[in-house]
Amino acid sequence: MKTQLFGRDFIAEQDWTKEELETALNVAVDLKRKFLLNESTPYLLHKTLFLLFFFSSTRTRTSFEAAMDHLGGNAHDLPSDKLQISHGDTAKEIGKILSSYGHGIAIRHCDWKEGNAYIREVAEHSAVPVYNMQCDIHHPFQAMADLLTIFEKKKTLKKRKIVMSWAYASSYTKPISVPQSFLLLLTKFAADITLAYPKEFELLPEVMKSAKNNIKQNGGSIEITHNMKDAFADADVVYPKSWGPLVITSDPKKCTKIAAKYTDWICDEKIMKLAKRDAIYMHCLPADRGIEVTDEVIDGHQSVVYDQAENRLHVQKAIMALTMGGR
């Protein structure tokens, strides 16, 4: 177990070793047990976390606030439009000033080709840990919650067909960060991943390169298909969600036009029958009901979406306790 994590940032899953990630998962399991038994966990007593949001949030905002409450600390919500960022506050100033006021900085910034760079610049100038609550490239806390959920439901990744699939959604051009973090994290744990998407919705080349390097080091495999039905066949885990064709264009009108060609990429009862009978359906939420997934699936017995959402709380508590409180 890797215990020397005090002061570490958590911006991308690739920044931590497998051993360090395993430590966080083990601590998350323990914190989840203590939460269920109503045991006190004041590991961050009197510690302050600043939450800086450039992008709307439900689960991320509330789970981070609750996590700090459970750990005995305080979370301060800082919507970006309430600060002076648009009037001149730089990433350097945010990092230096907020880190002098508290003990951690968490940021959600999903603007394409801006978010990750901004978070890393804040981290460069911060004296306290910086946490990525989602950017344009990574969503590491979501991926950790996803992995914990798979371990809970399937016990192991060995001999499991795990599918990350694109699905159609009409609400807006969604970030590419969820499938990328899922792929990067699970390949650290030797998973066999089937990645399914229409040809325009590929992931970043550098992400694919890192995932393949993970496989070389740890085992596992990646299979890519442009056929959703082929991906679902005999799957143990299916994770169909929308993301934008951002590698080829970030123009909203072009993204919408491209996605409209693939409205049949929907997770319904028919395609779920191609997976194994005990397969689980995953989604980070919110989902476009009736478009991305049918109510029968997301509300059905194979769905584990609420377990995923709950596990966000526990992995976040674990990582913050280890990096802000553990020495």
* Angstrom distance (rounded) from CA 241 to CA 246: 15
Overall domain count for the chain = 2
**CATH number of the domain to which 258 belongs:** 3.40.50.1370
Tell me whether residue 6 is in a domain: no
3 in a domain, yes or no? no
CA angle 143, 20, 282 (to 5 degrees): 15
Q: Do 156 and 288 belong to one domain?
A: yes
Model confidence over 36-86: pLDDT tens digits? 999 999 999 999 999 999 988 899 999 999 999 999 999 999 888 888 887
Q: What is the pLDDT of residue 2?
A: 59
Looking at the structure, tell me whether residues 216 and 258 fall in a common domain: yes
Length of the chain as a residue count:
327
Q: Are residues 135 and 146 in the same domain?
A: no
Query: What are the residues whose beta carbons fall under 8 Å from the beta carbon of 62, sequence distance 6 or more?
Result: none
User: Could you tell me if 156 and 284 lie in one domain?
Assistant: yes
Q: Which domain holds residue 292?
A: 140-307
Residue 5 lies in a domain: no
pLDDT score for 84? 84
Residues of the chain with pLDDT under 50: none
Q: Is residue 233 part of a domain?
A: yes
User: Are 127 and 180 contained in the same domain?
Assistant: no
Question: Which pLDDT does position 234 carry in this prediction?
Answer: 98
Together in a domain, 150 and 47: no
Asked whether residue 196 falls in the same domain as residue 230, the answer is yes
Same domain, yes or no, for 149 and 267?
Answer: yes
CA distance linking residue 147 with residue 23, whole number of Å: 13
Clarify whether residues 154 and 301 are in a common domain: yes
pLDDT for residue 62:
97
Q: How many CA atoms lie within 13 A of 285 on its CB side?
A: 18
Over residues 143-158, the pLDDT tens digits come to 999 999 999 999 999 9
Amino acid 82: pLDDT: 81
- Please report which helix (H) or strand (E) contains residue 107, including its range: strand 104-109
Q: Does residue 169 lie within any of the structural domains?
A: yes
If DSSP codes are grouped into helix, strand and coil, which group holds residue 232?
A: helix
- Strand, coil or helix: 73: coil
Is residue 66 domain-shared with residue 158, that is, in the same domain? no
Residues 145 and 279 in one domain: yes
DSSP string, 237-255: EEEEE----TTT---HHHH
Contact by Cβ (8 Å): 268, 297? yes
Are 109 and 215 contained in the same domain?
no
Q: What is the rounded distance in angstroms from the CA atom of residue 183 to the CA atom of residue 214? A: 10
